[in-house]
Structure 1
């Protein structure tokens, strides 16, 4: 009986439309694919050695570029800088460890992908495949004051200033719609 329940659950999970809540018990908005709970935490973007080496990505792809230590988004066949002109750093201010050494020591599983929604061939680590849902970023009041030791490439929605907040390893950048 237990095996039948597991089989039905797996079958249902494969064909069900997915919504994911992180840090909370359930998604509170039916228009959301991925929703984060409260807390002074952000979404960390993947680090790449250089956006020039990233091929086959679609518009809307976001990364942290280690070449110039900036957060970038693929937009209209080019990469748009979401950081201010000051280059960031990957050195942790508390431990003095450079995050690049940790990343370089890890073995990348190039075929790894997590998709929410109907899986397609869109490249990426985390791909939201829904055509009628969106991702809601983690919400933090004044992240520049409340997130202690943010990681380079972190993104949150600032609920105080009502802006997208992006950390490049040195400074926060704030983007208004």
Structure 2
């Protein structure tokens, strides 16, 4: 019998098998703009949703540069030498659906399927670095989805969403309640 979980698992295996080769990947557009890019997103009013983790203390083997959405305090965090750095700033994060406050998005996410701990998509030369999506190249970078004023143009952002704000020229992360902005 074909179930919803079997279809999701089959689609994930097909996607992962196509991305396990050294490559450059464009999502939502035809190609990347230059050879220094390993992953690039199209220019629509959409963001990249980070992996949700129970808490950063439960993440084993995280390497510097890992970025997650921490469900214990509803914050976007990045791993650096000294530990985890909070990118959300605001203390009011949530995973409650703003369009339907009776819905806890964590419950929906956890009930979809059982996590496959071996699931990983690698772009570049494969290594043993842990993660869900691992960009392996040492000489290429990822370009985040680029959105003009994401707080105005992304109608229903998900907790843990990250984009580059092309209007303010800064990183924007959504903690489930508000956007936080980071300028270099």
**2:137: which partner in 1?**
130
Q: Tell me, which stretches of 5 or more residues in structure 2 are unaligned? A: 1-17
Match of 1:58 among 28, 38, 63: 63
Match of 2:109 among 103, 108, 120: 103
* 8 Å contact kept, 1:59–1:77: no
Residues 50 and 16 of structure 1: CA distance in aligned 2, closer, same or farther (over 3 Å) = closer
What secondary structure sits across from 2:63 in the alignment?
Answer: coil
**2:39: which partner in 1?**
34
Residues 98 and 33 of structure 1: CA distance in aligned 2, closer, same or farther (over 3 Å) = same
Q: Does 1:88 align with 2:93?
A: yes
* Superposition deviation, residue 87 in structure 1: 2.8
Match of 2:75 among 48, 70, 81: 70
Output one character per residue of 1:10-58: Cα deviation in whole Å (capped at 9) or x when no partner: xxx7996300000001111211000000100001000000111111110
Normalised to the residue count of structure 2, the TM-score between the two structures is: 0.86
* 8 Å contact kept, 2:90–2:180: no
Structure 2 distance, partners of 1:31, 1:17, is: 13
* 8 Å contact kept, 1:62–1:72: yes
Residues 65 and 14 of structure 1: CA distance in aligned 2, closer, same or farther (over 3 Å) = closer
Output one character per residue of 1:60-85: Cα deviation in whole Å (capped at 9) or x when no partner: 00000000000000111400000113
* 8 Å contact kept, 2:67–2:79: yes
**1:141: which partner in 2?**
148
Larger radius of gyration: 1
* 8 Å contact kept, 1:62–1:73: yes
Normalised to the residue count of structure 1, the TM-score between the two structures is: 0.89
**Matches for 1:146-161 after TM superposition, within 5 Å:** 146-161=153-168
What secondary structure sits across from 1:28 in the alignment?
Answer: coil
Moved over 2 A (4+): 13-17
